Amino acid sequence: MTKEKIFDLIKTKNAKIAIGVSFFIVISFLILKKDPKPVEVSVVAQGIYKQILSVQGKTKIKELYTAYSPVNGVMRRVELHAGDKVSKGMTLVTVDWDIIKTIKATANGQILKVYRESAGPVAMGERILDYGDITKIDVSAFILSEDMPDLDLNDKVLLTGFGDQTLEGRVSIIEPSAITKISSLGVEEQRVPISIEFNPPHGIGDGYELECKIILFEKPDAIVIPTSALFREDEKWAVFIVEKKRAKLRFVEVEHQSEGTSMIRSGLTVGESVILYPGDTVVDGTKVVPE
């Protein structure tokens, strides 16, 4: 091979290398210069953290009275209807037996439900009607036994579901025994009955469903972020903060979580921005722009 051919070969190889390097540089430049990813962010704040236990509850009359037939006999027609007011000593039911038997109201209130109003034969112990004082009601709820260690008497409760208003109450009774309830998934659960005392607004009645948010404890001046910013990395809690227009991985220590809010023990500073719902497209170093 002559010197000229060797020289031409070297020039050809150098040209190919130069083209390859240039191509790599251009591609890298384009990748690095691509548009930043829009992300939703939240600012790390300091405020009151509330540990909340949410359960469904129902209003119930504190003192419910039921009138039963005292004997086998013939009942006279009941002229009372749901909503009618009754006063203590008022005759509610009359049954003809060897002698006339009457059932009288033992307290003031109003008729809640009439199970039978027609005249005719009646058996002893047959339920005729319910009555009670509709102004004296509380809320009944059932708490999972595993949540009971955090629950105390007089815990504050926020009640919603009756119009747009939020009612305030407190845990007034915690029963000593759990009962078995069947969940919506058909699973047996051990739940503890509790009562919630509140000031009933005008128009609320017996058996109304309410959402009960029991505040187990509050901590002022806590570092809080939305739980949607957290994810697991190397079996630890982590977030992406926004630093110099890039996502930066940061490990954090989570103390409590409740109602979509997490209280952070360490790892974040008030005023920093964390990325919400980062997903798989955000990694450490990704260029980002807050939406």
Class of domain 138-219: mainly beta
Report the topology of domain 63-132. OB fold (Dihydrolipoamide Acetyltransferase, E2P) (2.40.50)
User: How many Å apart are CA 290 and CA 163, to the nearest integer?
Assistant: 37
Q: What is d(CA 170, CA 176) in angstroms, rounded to the nearest whole number?
A: 18
- What are the sequence ranges of the domains in the chain? 37-52+220-290, 63-132, 138-219
Helix-strand-coil split of the chain, %, nearest 5: 15, 55, 35
Q: What is the identity of the amino acid at 231? A: F
Q: What is the pLDDT of residue 108?
A: 95
| CA-wise closest residue to 214 among 47, 56, 48, 46 | 56
Residue 184 has a pLDDT of 81
Q: How far apart are CA 239 and CA 248, in angstroms?
A: 8
Pick the CATH number of 37-52+220-290 from 2.40.160.60, 3.40.50.720, 3.40.50.261, 2.40.420.20: 2.40.420.20
pLDDT tens string, the chain, 291 residues long: the values are 554 554 454 455 554 565 555 565 555 555 555 678 999 999 999 999 999 999 999 999 999 999 999 999 999 999 999 999 999 999 999 999 889 999 999 999 999 999 999 999 999 999 999 999 999 999 999 999 999 999 999 999 999 999 999 999 999 999 999 999 988 888 999 999 999 999 999 999 999 999 999 999 999 999 999 999 999 999 999 999 999 999 999 999 999 999 999 999 999 999 999 999 998 889 999 999 998
What's the farthest any 2 CA atoms get from each other in the chain? 140
